[in-house]
Structure 1
Amino acid sequence: MNILNKPFNTVHDTAPFSQIQTSDYIPAFDTAIAETKQEIDAITHNSESPTFENTIAAMAYSGMPLDRISNIFFNLHSAETNDEMERIAQEVAPKLSQLANDITLNFDLFKRIHEVYNQKDSLNLTIEQQTLLEKSYKDFVRNGALLDDDKKEQLRKIDAELSVLKLKFGENLLAETNAYELHITDERNLAGLPEGTIEAARGLAQEQGKDGWIFTLHYPSYIPFVTYAVNRALRKEVALAAGRKAFQANEHNNEANILKIVNLRHQRAQLLGYDTHADFVLEERMAQSPAKVKAFLNDLLEKAKPAALKEFDELTQFAKELDGIEQLEKWDGAYYTEKLKQKKFQLDDELLKPYFKLENVLSGAFLVAEKLFGLHFLEVDNIDKYHPEVQTFEVRDEQNQLVAIFYADFFPRKGKRNGAWMTSFKPQYVKGGKMERPHVSIVCNFTRPTATKPSLLTFNEVTTLFHEFGHALHGMLANTVYPTLSGTSVYWDFVELPSQIMENWCYEEEALASFAKHYQTGETIPMELVEKIKESASFMEGMATLRQLSFGLLDIQWHGQSPTEVNDVKVFEQRAFDSTQLYPDVKENAMSPSFSHIFDGGYASGYYSYKWAEVLDADAFDYFKQNGIFNREIADKFKAHILSQGGTKHPMELYIDFRGQEPTVDALLKRAGLL
């Protein structure tokens, strides 16, 4: 029998990665899809009257073996892919889309759900059960249960096409990222670059049997290059290469995919009775409507733009004085920002990196979680891995009870997409009285150790690790009954609160002192450096805010109006960026073709969430600051009302339960130095 279709019989029921053959996936998916259909049929044709247990709860637990296979496959498709995995993804995505439609467009099943829903006030349900019932009913209505048969058929076609287009978008982007290399053979062109970056580039060249140094568009190579390389022409070359990913006249161009995706999303929304895709999405968000999102973004824009313009003028003047640069271009931004930061604060990443050895930073994140939530992380070697570099941990509480399994995967590889993310291989839930604990993973792309140095993180990478670890805690500390409401199964504009709040500890002396130690001498980071980190935290915050707002505005432009008249991705994008643009436009570059958050990820109509959650996280951390950053009483409240509750209640209710009031934007503006 296929390894993926039977009980795993592994330590803590973990995924048996080393025993899975790529050829197992399609038959495993086919079997699990068939089993899920049988489960749904049994619920639909149950001869007993519909009840919460035999219909709503039964639905919540249906298809779990399929979810498990999907989690394993699609997580590997992001972190450890190859041509065969990509072919399988293209074949499987429409099948999963069809199954989802078979379920939500099943009118007989919906009738049972509707019948339970009509009795909701007399059923004496718990809050979690009420939420599950509400969500189940809405999911069906929002996915076409009330449509006529011909419209249901249209919806099926749209969903099947969208599932493949999104995959294609991501695969094109990965192919373009992997395709570019800058091969340097003249050592003078390395001027300004950090030693570790040079060493990594040398290693990459040696792997390919070449002389010199190779730089790529993967972040650990790209970011230091555009930040430190003195050679302006080469910075320009690399920046242009990054900016034209999937926007070139070749087989990996994403422009047609984007236009198809936004038009299909719009058609889908209209079919379901919504004005736009954003109206459809935001109905199930804290923000509620495109108008509210635009008002929120534009309000922040109004507050941030004067500061951003002032900062841009200062940066322009600085570049002119330093190097006689008349016009600041996009490939100059990171370079002169870093130079100005060094001048103002005598602080640069190369000064900080020796204090941020990856292993120490990870231990620091673990220590913060221990002090706040009583968690202990024990690295173990008896859990199967999908790649030798992955680390595995048992997470236990103060009573030594298993809380979660934690996987950490830190370095770039050819088969791994760029960026950093948290995901899970198995959710937390309770079934038949038995508590199942979650298996959570974070995946990053940090600088690899070299022959002479361990992996040393930039401060930005330190905050990235804490950010993803915050998502992981949200998954690990889940304590709900139903898997569909567990962990990070919350509104998308709430999901970033647990991740973003964790970044705050990276700026606190009390936290840094425990893990920021020099990798050679063991010396704790000097307090004047900590002060400079804090002072520089809001450096160029106006420009950084403008950049984030520009992405949110681009997203809401793509999805908050009819895209039927749009036929030029670049022209459309320029209009969307109009109010936030600081640098001159680069005609051969466009952002949308590589904007995977909204075209390949789950952030369509939701990119504003990062800023929205910053308001929540600044307000929440302010509460800690007033009472002590390791205040256990407040940490217990955060765990009880936010981290453990998943999607069992409306997020604003959860937030008020924790904080005692709604959040205000003041704490964010104060922290960002924009007040």
Structure 2
Amino acid sequence: MYATYTLIILLLKSTDMLQSVPPRPWICARCLGRRASVVLQRRSFQQQAREALDVADANPVYHSQVGERFDDSLLRQIFDSPSVWNAFGKASGRPHVGLFRNAFLTGPEGFHAFARASLRRSQKIVEKVLQASTVEEYRCIVRDLDRLSDILCRHLDMTEFLRAHHPDPRVQQAAEESWYAVYQYMNELNTTTELNDQLGRALGNKEVTATWSEEDMTVAQILKLDFTKSAVDLPQASRDRFVQVSQRITEVGNAFTDSMAPEQRQLVLPSSKFQGMDPVLARRLTRRGYLYLPTLSAEAAVALRSVHDPETRKAIYYASRTASKHSVKLLEEMVRLRAELARLSGFDSYATMTLRDRMMARNPESVNQFLLALTKKNAPVVQQEMVDLLAEKKRRGGSAHLLEPWDREYYAEAIRRSMKMTPNKDDFLSAYFSLGTVMQGLSRIFSRLYGVRFVPTETLPGETWHPDVRRLDVVSDTDGHVAVLYCDLFYRESKPPNPAHFTVRCSRELSPEEVAEAAEDFAFAEAPHSPTFSSHEEAANDGMSLSKQSGALKQLPTIALVCDFPQTATSSSRPALLNFFQMETLFHEMGHAVHSVLARTSRQVVSGTRCATDLAELPSTLMEYFAADPATLALFARHHETDEPLRYDLVAERLRLSKRFEGSDTEHQIVLAMLDQELHSPHAPERNFDSTAMYHELQRRYCSTPPDPPGTRWQGFFGHLFSYGSTYYSYLFDRVLAERVWRVAFNAGAQGGALDRANGEHVKESLLRWGGSRDPWRCLADTLRDDRVADGGERAMAIVGSWGASSVFKE
């Protein structure tokens, strides 16, 4: 997933949810490729690198210049060898440069100075916009509001990330206080009607809009719609109520996700009832003849797949599918509050309000058309899976006429076991997926397709929030240094567990005017803990990375990639090994990152992953196909000890097993997306509406799999309803789009299509470079060379649904 931080007006959709020394001079790609060898002075390390480079030279699948090969070899080593990273990655004897090289953040006290500077800059822009009266001044409004959004985002996104991921409680507290100060100011802007009025005057003046680019017009329309959604046109009393309801939704939604619990937290049954379960696992849970099974746990999922006794499986199923009444009550309160918020804003439903904002679907009717078309396409697949499950049940002595809800996982697992050709497949495959080789592979893939690669870069004192964090500079073969990527990939106990991509700072073009303003702003800075800068450009970007591209000065996208992979001991020579799922997860998150890297927009509001919300998962889901392609795997998947290449038939077996019941998995997701739409429709949040009855009715109407039995309340566990209210269909939508792009644009990997530069350039120029600055339907139509979907709407959504969501992989 990408992390998303959503604010009502100016923060918009960041993804996805995420740095003073004299500025580093811009360095061309060729020089930067040689840079690592200049930095390293330790002979022992140079010898290690040369030995690894000799191995790389013997590998026929990757060819590049010497400097690039050195970086390629080094990339693997800094992730696979802690000693190499310790030798390379930390510069000593230098002053602290601040987190992410943000010159304010050299210590906890710097967060408050950062907040003061952000507020001071913001207030100047607000005053400028409110005072605009001439045509020339109105022409600057889009640029000024985008800059205002950038100032708020660059502060809120960074402090939001650090308060969750920095291990030091003092930094967490300072980040929290700094975040809240700017967040309060942003809430004041949400109700500043004069900003909306000024933007409206600019949009209504043809002399103004005639000078705007397509990107500027898109930004203006996005901002105007956000003002509308925040109820700025309403009387003061209604605006006050809007703020109250918004706050209450956040409180109830957080309570819903934080206190989510089953009605029965533990199931206690005689251990004799659990025959078929892994005996080691069963013994661990057994005390005095009884097995104590946590209701919501991996152990419960294992039991459903393996326990022979159907009555025991039934008890587990009921317990794990029945949320507490309290959880359901919070869910239904959140839905009612959202309905009120929509009515305050002048919309008939929360879904209508949400889908108008940067969504390809645009309205609930289009979502419905997509889901119905996808259901029709998917139904034959599910029905055949049910036939197979009933046949397996009959083969094992059960009834061939009835498949109970608690039968599905048990008999599906039995079928998968019968398909296995190799035991311990994940453990076996992981020997070919050291973290370093996977990172090396990603760099090679991106270099082949898009002309960008990863260059390991030393981290300066104070730059990262933990010693495990590696910095990679992303270098383009045409534009030089184009992005900064911080990789925090190893497990820590205090670290949030979910893999995510955070755009900590977006790409954006800096105008000469704001550089001059920054020079004036900091020339005589006397506030406590204010940094000093050695150039005006550095001051304009807080000391973080800049580059000149096509004559324009740009702040580089700065990305944090967070995962929780197991790390080997510092003294161990064994690298961190990923199973196939973990490798696929890293590919997915890198898909978000490369979207942020390749976007070429001037405004941060539409930079990279700040695109249509239901398009944001397309680049990342697309990367999962590359993770399973034989040509891309041949670039890097080699045994960490023997350097033997991975046999693709082992991967194909793993994929067959994981996709064996993909149809019924898709059906489950379709019904959840339908439930999300139904809960946020105009008629749902009436005083006595019943979310349980609603969910069960959708299952009965649209499922070929057995519906949940009466008495269960699974929707109380549907935490995505808080963060993805009325947009949950996006996961399915992007799965379908990714499969289509893989099949059409990359020829499903056939004949080297996965690594063809022409294919990569086509996808980059048609889709990735635009961020959110262009109509996403036009981007999709160009990518697929299919003008049927160019105009969007219900017909286009139905066409997408008719494509289906089946995975494509090589046998």
For the aligned pair, the TM-score class normalised by the smaller chain equals: 0.7 to 0.9
Q: Contact 1:269–1:280 (CA<8 Å) still a contact in 2?
A: yes
> What's the CA shift for 1:646?
0.8
Return the TM-score normalized by structure 2.
Answer: 0.68
Q: Contact 2:115–2:178 (CA<8 Å) still a contact in 1?
A: yes
* CA distance in structure 2 between the partners assigned to 1:407 and 1:559 by the alignment: 38
Kindly provide the CA deviation profile for residues 616-661 of structure 1, in whole angstroms up to 9, marking residues without a partner as x. 2222212211772222122112112311211111101122333332
Aligned to 1:422: 501
> What's the CA shift for 1:604?
1.6
Aligned to 2:90: none
Aligned to 2:473: 394
User: After superposition, where does 1:259-338 map in structure 2 within 5 Å?
Assistant: 259-284=332-357, 285-318=359-392, 321=395, 333=408, 336-338=411-413
Alignment partner of 1:431 out of 510, 513, 525: 510
Q: Contact 1:429–1:482 (CA<8 Å) still a contact in 2?
A: yes
Give the direction of change, closer, same or farther, for the CA distance of 1:82–1:566 in structure 2 (3 Å limit): farther
Give the counterpart letter for 1:103 in structure 2: L
Identity of aligned residues (%): 23
Q: RCO higher in 1 or 2 (8 Å CA, sep ≥ 6)?
A: 2
Give the counterpart letter for 1:346 in structure 2: M
Alignment partner of 1:597 out of 699, 715, 720: 720
* 1:457 has 2:534 as partner: no
Give the direction of change, closer, same or farther, for the CA distance of 1:633–1:389 in structure 2 (3 Å limit): same
Aligned to 1:3: none
Return the TM-score normalized by structure 1.
Answer: 0.81
Give the direction of change, closer, same or farther, for the CA distance of 1:413–1:554 in structure 2 (3 Å limit): farther
SS of 2:700's partner is: coil
Q: Contact 1:98–1:156 (CA<8 Å) still a contact in 2?
A: no
Of the structure 1 ranges 231-240 and 109-118, higher mean CA displacement relative to structure 2 is found in: 231-240
Aligned to 1:513: 634
SS of 2:634's partner is: helix
Aligned to 2:754: 629
Aligned to 1:355: 432
Give the counterpart letter for 2:700 in structure 1: D
Aligned to 1:490: 611
* 1:344 has 2:419 as partner: yes
Aligned to 1:210: none
SS of 1:145's partner is: coil
Give the direction of change, closer, same or farther, for the CA distance of 1:578–1:518 in structure 2 (3 Å limit): farther
User: After superposition, where does 1:52-67 map in structure 2 within 5 Å?
Assistant: 52-62=138-148, 64-67=150-153
> What's the CA shift for 1:520?
4.1
Kindly provide the CA deviation profile for residues 149-195 of structure 1, in whole angstroms up to 9, marking residues without a partner as x. 2222221212222233344444445xx79xx9999xx9xx9997699
SS of 2:554's partner is: strand
Aligned to 1:209: none
Aligned to 2:154: 68
Give the direction of change, closer, same or farther, for the CA distance of 1:31–1:430 in structure 2 (3 Å limit): closer
> What's the CA shift for 1:28?
5.9
Q: Contact 1:554–1:576 (CA<8 Å) still a contact in 2?
A: yes
Give the direction of change, closer, same or farther, for the CA distance of 1:365–1:403 in structure 2 (3 Å limit): same
Give the counterpart letter for 1:436 in structure 2: Q
Alignment partner of 2:741 out of 620, 629, 652: 620
* CA distance in structure 2 between the partners assigned to 1:362 and 1:242 by the alignment: 38
Aligned to 1:638: 763
* CA distance in structure 1 between the partners assigned to 2:336 and 2:167 by the alignment: 29
The runs of 5 or more residues in structure 2 that have no matched partner are 1-18, 22-95, 286-291, 512-551, 790-798
Q: Contact 2:321–2:712 (CA<8 Å) still a contact in 1?
A: yes
Q: Contact 1:94–1:163 (CA<8 Å) still a contact in 2?
A: no
Kindly provide the CA deviation profile for residues 306-342 of structure 1, in whole angstroms up to 9, marking residues without a partner as x. 3213313423543564596998776765565344234
* CA distance in structure 1 between the partners assigned to 2:563 and 2:692 by the alignment: 30
Q: Contact 1:17–1:385 (CA<8 Å) still a contact in 2?
A: no
SS of 2:148's partner is: coil
* CA distance in structure 2 between the partners assigned to 1:325 and 1:355 by the alignment: 43
> What's the CA shift for 1:362?
2.9
Q: Contact 2:162–2:175 (CA<8 Å) still a contact in 1?
A: no
Q: Contact 2:190–2:232 (CA<8 Å) still a contact in 1?
A: yes
* CA distance in structure 2 between the partners assigned to 1:100 and 1:17 by the alignment: 21
Alignment partner of 1:577 out of 674, 699, 703: 699
Give the counterpart letter for 1:69 in structure 2: H
Give the direction of change, closer, same or farther, for the CA distance of 1:294–1:88 in structure 2 (3 Å limit): farther
SS of 1:393's partner is: strand
* CA distance in structure 2 between the partners assigned to 1:268 and 1:165 by the alignment: 14
Kindly provide the CA deviation profile for residues 507-548 of structure 1, in whole angstroms up to 9, marking residues without a partner as x. 211111222223443322213224435655642221121122
> What's the CA shift for 1:470?
0.7
Aligned to 2:88: none
* CA distance in structure 2 between the partners assigned to 1:291 and 1:299 by the alignment: 12
> What's the CA shift for 1:124?
2.6
SS of 1:288's partner is: coil
Kindly provide the CA deviation profile for residues 62-94 of structure 1, in whole angstroms up to 9, marking residues without a partner as x. 154442232123224555689999999998888
Aligned to 2:24: none
Kindly provide the CA deviation profile for residues 398-455 of structure 1, in whole angstroms up to 9, marking residues without a partner as x. 2582221112333555544454322211111111242111111233344555889754
* CA distance in structure 2 between the partners assigned to 1:130 and 1:62 by the alignment: 17
> What's the CA shift for 1:357?
3.1
> What's the CA shift for 1:267?
1.0
Of the structure 1 ranges 616-625 and 88-97, higher mean CA displacement relative to structure 2 is found in: 88-97
How many aligned positions are there?
A: 642
Q: Contact 1:32–1:63 (CA<8 Å) still a contact in 2?
A: no
> What's the CA shift for 1:287?
1.2
Q: Contact 2:111–2:178 (CA<8 Å) still a contact in 1?
A: no
Tell which structure's C-alpha radius of gyration is larger: 2
> What's the CA shift for 1:378?
2.4
